[in-house]
Structure 1
Amino acid sequence: MEDALSWGSILLRIAAQLLPVWVALIVTFALSMQFKRRLGLYGRIFDSPVGMTGFGLVMFWVFTALFADWIITHDPLAQLSGMKNIIPGSPLKDPAEGAYPWYLLGGDHLARDVFSRVVMGAREVLKIAPAATVVAFMVGITLGLPAGYLGGRLDTTISFLSNLVLAFPVILLFYLLVTPEIRVTGIPIALAAILFIFPVIFLTILFNSRFFTTPAKRNLYVGLTLLFGLWAYSGLAFNADPLGIWSMDPNMLNVFVSVVFVNSPGVFRIVRGMVMDIKTRDYVAAGQTRGEGPWYIMLWEILPNARGPLIVDFCLRIGYTTILLGTLGFFGLGVTPESPDWGSTINYGRRLLAIAPHPAVVPAIALMSLVLGLNLLADGLREESMKD
């Protein structure tokens, strides 16, 4: 049996396991710095120390999630004999042939490797938060643009429904939407049917308005959007994809739909407010004078000029969503009970803080660093977008 590792050896071995992440970060930063003047707002992040630091933290976890299968030292669900609540750097009691000989960050209450669970937990978090935030933004933008631009009863109705959702306590609303019992009511399926159609509507209107004067391109882009969009929609919302490519586990569907439903009203209000301001600008009046259609003006004149604040809000909202997902996992309402998501790992580890703090502290630091990176990135983007 191997000897226990010192903290210096533990950190060196963790750094070695994360080698693919370091290489990917170096390549990303090198290329981004080389071509930053050609990359618009993204390139200008590297002129801001705050934004660059946030970008580095975020991409560290993105690459960790991507290369998780190469980084982990053990199966994050495997329970090895004699490794329950073991301290960091402890050797395996009875290692199998070819197995990694240590638990680098110790074992949890079920004798699972904390290091591998934290690494794989990054994939669980980043699998839901960005995608759900993108869908929430498509819902908010699709509703916020006409509400702010056209006003009237449409604005009044959508604003009332938005305020109704926002008036409900967020954590309690999440708790109600993700409980397993709610699946029997069919509410998650109904919400998925409503919310998942918005990306298809958004992209269809986007291409139709842009290529309206060139029917051949318009028909091609709109046709492809409807073909692939409705195919994905049938699988994700109703699990009716005949090829089985698009599907979502019921637990994940609950969480995903809940994130979209809770975030969409906030995005709607931001977009609506910005549109009400921008629509009074001279270039919008010029577009109206040229005879451009309302959707063209909204999507191709107004929306690009609102991109700075929306990109900043997008980064912040991913951070909020990450915290909410951690909170759900902490309450045992995550994707699956055995999931290595950070919230569940913190929940399991908190009961042993007095005798073995590492199962809870390590995922808590991981969660904090990702959210910190997103906040710093948002600050950097805000700083650079204000220079336009």
Structure 2
Amino acid sequence: MATTTPTTAAVAPAALLPTRQPESLWRQATRAFFRQRSAVIGLTIIILLVLISIFAPLLAPYDPEQVLIGVEDVQKRSAPCVHAFGCPSTQPQHIMGTDGNNRDELSRIIYGARISLYVGLITVGFAIIVGVLLGALAGYVGGWFDNLVMRILDVLLAFPALLLAIAIVSVLGPGLINAMLAIAIVSIPAYARVMRASVLSVKQEEFVQAARVVGAGPVAILFQHVLPNAISPLIVQGTLGIGTAILETAALSFLGLGAQPPTPEWGSMLSAERNQLFSAPFLVFFPGLAIMVNVLGFNLLGDGLRDALDPRLRR
């Protein structure tokens, strides 16, 4: 009885099928991020704010600190908004009207976006650098150094962040730079604790033990193996922290401890026109809306990054 053997032609196609390369974690996170509508909306808001900040001199119709009319017209602002000189409905050349000192409101809102992004990025950047160093060293070294650093940070966390920032600015003196420094100081404990927890988890992984076995030094292990794999939670925390820093800076400026007039900062604009709430409500509405949109964009972006970078939250 004859037996049949499989031919080479029959098995060759299956053997020559291309193998699919596994998708990288960052590509998976990117795809998961763009599948979330709220995250895309947040990213769009941030991109628009960045573009407005970059091209502010081209977009703003006037100098944000330029007084446009004389003192006699300022007195007309005591009338209701529908009859006031600076109301948007009666000022076609000023889309958002003019403020109490007769400066174009739209121009000040546009330049305020530049200041807010500058404040958020610089403040959070400084807090992250210090917090990463403290948290990474505390988590990796452990022992008495870990206890010392964490107890100092616990003391800072015992105070409400805004009250502690107000106390620091009161000592240093009012001003935008001092307000940024105060907010950065009160933000350091949050980033340090996130980094410490991440380092404590990563340093127990097998690849870290393997690097130690082959003779890698503690500094090389920390900066080449532990930190790159512990940075994901910090990205999310930093993105959310930018919105918080912008909001706290606006609060300090509203209290007169942050940006000083005539700087076009949204919080100081709210403070300067808070008495015009009923006679010229647009002077309070537009800066408040700008703060809300800015913070909302960073919060949506941070939530999207959290869901995308955490495999447990991916759908």
How does the TM-score come out when normalised to structure 2?
0.82
Aligned to 1:291: 215
Tell me what 2:68 maps to: 80
- Distance, in Å, in 1 between the alignment partners of 2:177 and 2:273 is 26
Match of 1:48 among 36, 43, 58: 36
- Map 1:1-388 to 2 at 5 A: 40=27, 41=29, 45-81=33-69, 82=73, 84=77, 86-91=86-91, 102-179=93-170, 182-183=172-173, 251-387=175-311
Match for 2:191: what amino acid? V
Which aligned segments of 4 or more residues in structure 1 are displaced greater than 4 angstroms? 37-44
Sort the Cα spacing of 1:284 and 1:38 in 2 relative to 1 into closer, same or farther, 3 A.
closer
In structure 2, what residue type is equivalent to 1:294? P
Q: How many Å apart are 1:38 and its aligned residue? A: 11
The answer (yes or no) to whether the contact 1:129–1:322 under 8 Å persists in 2 is yes
Residue deviations 1:41-69 (CA, integer Å, cap 9, x gap): 55753333221111001111111111111
Give, in whole Å, the separation in 1 of the partners of 2:255 and 2:262: 13
Q: After superposition, what is the alpha-carbon deviation per residue over 1:228-270, rounded to whole angstroms, capped at 9, x for unaligned?
A: xxxxxxxxxxxxxxxxxxxxxx934312221221111111111
Superposition deviation, residue 90 in structure 1: 3.3
2:259·2:268 contact (CA, 8 Å) conserved in 1? Answer: no
Instruction: Specify the structure having the higher radius of gyration (Cα).
Output: 2
Per-residue deviation, 1:172: 1.7
| Secondary structure at 1:317 match in 2 | helix
Q: Percent same amino acid at aligned positions?
A: 33
Q: Which runs of 5+ in 1 are unaligned?
A: 1-36, 92-100, 184-249
Query: Does structure 2 retain, via aligned residues, the 8 Å contact 1:316–1:375?
Result: yes
SS at 1:102's partner residue?
coil
Give me the whole-angstrom Cα distance separating, in 2, the residues matched to 1:89 and 1:165. Answer: 49
Instruction: Give the conservation status (yes or no) of the 8 Å contact 1:72–1:116.
Output: yes
State the one-letter code of the partner of 2:115: E
Offset, 1:359: 0.7
Residue type at the aligned position of 2:123: A
Q: CA RMSD in A?
A: 2.1
Checking the alignment, whether the CA contact within 8 Å between 1:89 and 1:102 is kept in structure 2 is no
How many angstroms does 1:298 deviate by? Answer: 1.8
Residues 205-230 of structure 1: CA deviation (Å, up to 9, x unaligned):
xxxxxxxxxxxxxxxxxxxxxxxxxx
